[in-house]
Structure formats: C-alpha cells, structure tokens
Structure 1
C-alpha cells in the first residue's frame, strides 16, 4: 500500500510540474482573466515552495544529530564526543541547579553555593564552523560558592588498554560574556589511588586544546578503573559560558 502511494505521489508531482511548465510557456499569450487566476495560484504555490526550500536549507546546513566527526591527531586509537554534544537530551535544561545535578548520563555540575543561581541548557548549534550538533550553555548569576566545576565521565572504552605511553587530548570551543579562567583536570582512578593532571585552557587561542601526557604520571596500568574530566571555572559570577563542542582523543606518545 505504501509503495502504491509513493508511485501515485510521484506521478501526481510529475503531472503538476508539466502543467506549470505549460502555463509558463503560454503566459505571454494567455487571456488576461485566465492569466490573473494562474498568477494567484502560482503565488500561493510559490509561498509553500519557498517555505520548504528555506526550512530544508536551514536544517540540512546544521551539524548532523549523532555526529562523532571531528579532527583527530595521527595515530589516534580512541576518540569520543560526549552524548550531550552529540544527541538531543530528554531534559533540555535545568534551573537553580543543585550540587551534583546531572544533565544526561555523563555530565554533572558540582558547586558549594548556598543558594543556586545557576542554569544549564542544551543548545542546537547553527554556526557554519560547528561540527557538534549541540552545545551546552551555563548561566551564572550571583555566585556565593568557592568552586564550580563541570564533570564529564568518560566511557569504559577510554581506559581499555590505557598505558603511560598515551597522550590524551581535549579539544573544545568556548564562548563567554566576559573573560574567566577555565582549568581542565584529568582524573584516572587506578586501584585505591586517583592520578590527577591539571591544564589551563588557552582561551585566547583560536584552537582551544590541551594535552595530558601520561608519561609524567604515576599511573598503575594494571589497575586502571575509570577516567573523567573536570572543567573548573574560576570567578564565574555574572557570566554566560557556552561550550559549543567538547571532544577527546587518545594516541600513543611519539617515540624519539
């Protein structure tokens, strides 16, 4: 039944196209009363066609939902874009965000504010340069706490085969209303210990990227259990921060 319907629609659309092609050819000699009626119908049709073209061009220009495409360094053996930047989240946003509140399964906000004036919201990216389908906006109004961090839990695949020869790279696109400092802290739990490496994001650079070289860590490769990233915001009061993209990749350290 569905196949028959598609065949009928294609036949109808082909006939409609032939009709308007014939009207266009005869327009210069058509009787004025008939031409006036044709013009009215053509304008109505053009309105609908323009709407279809405009909406389709806008939607087709957006990054594809679910996309995990982004530039990766040579030799990458694991790469990942968190789901919040890749897929629509059932909960679009949170207001008066409490400590340890989660947006999606991988992102958690930590703070020690007595009264929360924080909001989180997932956004659809529309800019030409954006590869991530979605972004995350954080609005901070009055802030009476001493720390604010966004924790991103990495999937189990991130630690499979993890060695001290690995370099982990974090790439992000950040927008903010006014300057602030953002630090990225890599946390790796191995047995009873947690290895931590901290890097400041170079927010003045065009490509905001930091690398964590595990060669300088005390990682026990045989006991690695879990890995996560903290994004730590210093002095966030009365600011809006938009993370347009967050991606991570892992590669073996080059041998010299």
Structure 2
C-alpha cells in the first residue's frame, strides 16, 4: 500500500469514527450529565463553524460556470456552435496593459488600433454570477484614445466553414455591460480562393444580451473554395469607457425556406 493510499484509508477511518461519535452523542443528549454539556456544545459549535465555512466555499464554486463549460444557447436547428477560448478557459497572456496594435490575448483574439499612445487595457476575468454560462469574460478599459479605429479580431475555427452554404445564417451573440453608451459594429469576413467577402452589421447595444445575424445570401461566395473566416468587432469612439464582455458565442443555421 502506498503512502497516499494509507493516508486516504486513515482519513476515511477518522471520518467514520467522528460520525459515529456525534451520532451517539445525539442519541445520548437527553441522558448526559449537565456538567458534560458545555464542553460538547463548544466542540459541536466549533465543528459546525468549520463545516459551514467549507460548505459555503464549495457551494459557491459549484454554482460558478465551470472552466471549460461550453453550453451555447442557440436556435434548435443550428448545425454549428462555438464559444471562443477566451470565454471558455484561462488564456495566456491573461492581460495586457497599454496594449499595442496587434496585441493578442490567447490564440484567437487580436487587438487592432492606430493610436500612437495606447491607453487600452485588456484583461480576462472570471465570471461569478449565477446567470453566467461562460466561465470567463473580457474586460476592456479605454482611457484617452486619439486614434481613428479600435477593434478586435476573432479567428473562427475551421469547423465554421465546413459545410457552409449560401442558405446559412451566422449568429453572433454577446452578453455585455458598458460604462457609457457605445456603438459597436461586427464584420464577418470570409476568404474563398483569391477573394474575400464581408458583411457588416451594427450590434444593437443594450445592457445585457445583444445579437446580430449575417445572412450569407448577401455574399458572393464560392462554396467550394472556402478557406478562412474571421470576425471584426469594432468600437466607435471608445475613449473613457469600460466594456465587460461576459460572453460571446456563435451559432449557424439554415435560413427558413419561403
């Protein structure tokens, strides 16, 4: 028997003895001498404090969205869903202060801007609310900003274009909080052979959930030569603002036949 096995066996025996002791004490409570009760009450209260503290902490953890959770709400007819890695699990680096043009967070998100002196901070954060489905979120703080554009690009996985057809719609959903009103535009880019096509939609920004849909019928795609897809999320006049993107996910489904 290994040391770890012996330790585990000892822990189980100790636990069983403790349970038996307090079960017996509960049975004998009315028959115990009064002089014994203060000591037992003190021990029981001390044990209860430790157990309550332990239960409070683990129940809090169990209520969090678990790391790696990938439950994506999507229309029932969806044939593809995806939540980027930054919202699923820890990324490296997890934060960038004074983020320069083309700064990256993880493997899939890249920041773009033309500000000579960056006052943009990106940071991955842990979601803690009971309503959160994504384990992590993105916090972006922008102080002074004198550039003409600020956006981040998300590279979509190969699975996004596998089986992609012109009768598909691609849906992008966000769960966000803003310090002050902000215009956000989303641009879908698809490369097919030597060409690339784009669709731009304005995200209807409200506190909470927001979504846009890209109808591929408006794109001139060669379905047989699809190579790559990516999304630009563009922020207009972002100075002096904080954006909390608690969730971001995609789904794909065929357009309803008319």
TM-score w.r.t. the length of structure 2 is 0.93
Match of 1:171 in 2: 173
Of residues 39-48 and 189-198 in structure 1, the stretch that sits farther from structure 2 once superposed is 39-48
Match of 1:10 in 2: 12
* Alignment equivalent of 1:183, drawn from 182, 185, 199: 185
CA distance in structure 2 between the aligned counterparts of 1:122 and 1:25, rounded to whole angstroms: 53
Matched position secondary structure for 1:70:
coil
- CA deviation map 1:162-200 (0-9, x unaligned): 211111011110101111111111011112221110111
Of residues 75-84 and 15-24 in structure 1, the stretch that sits farther from structure 2 once superposed is 15-24
Matched position secondary structure for 1:173:
strand
* Alignment equivalent of 1:161, drawn from 145, 160, 163: 163
Match of 1:58 in 2: 60
CA distance in structure 2 between the aligned counterparts of 1:192 and 1:207, rounded to whole angstroms: 36
CA distance in structure 1 between the aligned counterparts of 2:208 and 2:66, rounded to whole angstroms: 24
Match of 1:36 in 2: 38
Matched position secondary structure for 1:168:
strand
Of residues 86-95 and 50-59 in structure 1, the stretch that sits farther from structure 2 once superposed is 86-95
CA distance in structure 1 between the aligned counterparts of 2:156 and 2:129, rounded to whole angstroms: 27
CA distance in structure 2 between the aligned counterparts of 1:119 and 1:96, rounded to whole angstroms: 6
CA distance in structure 2 between the aligned counterparts of 1:108 and 1:33, rounded to whole angstroms: 70
Runs of 4+ in structure 1 deviating by more than 6 angstroms, as ranges, are none
Count how many residue pairs are aligned between Structure 1 and Structure 2. 256
Match of 2:111 in 1: 109
5+ residue gaps, structure 2, are: none
CA distance in structure 2 between the aligned counterparts of 1:233 and 1:107, rounded to whole angstroms: 15
User: Is the 2:188–2:229 Cα contact (8 Å) retained in structure 1?
Assistant: yes
* Alignment equivalent of 1:85, drawn from 61, 81, 87: 87
CA distance in structure 2 between the aligned counterparts of 1:90 and 1:187, rounded to whole angstroms: 26
User: RMSD value over aligned CA atoms?
Assistant: 1.7
Pair 1:152-2:179 in alignment: no
CA distance in structure 2 between the aligned counterparts of 1:177 and 1:207, rounded to whole angstroms: 15
CA distance in structure 1 between the aligned counterparts of 2:237 and 2:94, rounded to whole angstroms: 25
> Cα 1:148–1:37, aligned 2, differ >3 Å: closer, same or farther?
same
Match of 1:69 in 2: 71
Match of 1:228 in 2: 230
Offset of residue 206 of structure 1:
5.6
CA distance in structure 2 between the aligned counterparts of 1:115 and 1:46, rounded to whole angstroms: 56
5+ residue gaps, structure 1, are: none
- CA deviation map 1:3-51 (0-9, x unaligned): 5654443333222112112223334443344322222322321222112
CA distance in structure 2 between the aligned counterparts of 1:210 and 1:129, rounded to whole angstroms: 21
TM-score w.r.t. the length of structure 1 is 0.94
Q: Trace 1:202-221 onto structure 2 (pairs within 5 A).
A: 202-204=204-206, 207-221=209-223
CA distance in structure 1 between the aligned counterparts of 2:231 and 2:103, rounded to whole angstroms: 16
CA distance in structure 1 between the aligned counterparts of 2:183 and 2:138, rounded to whole angstroms: 18
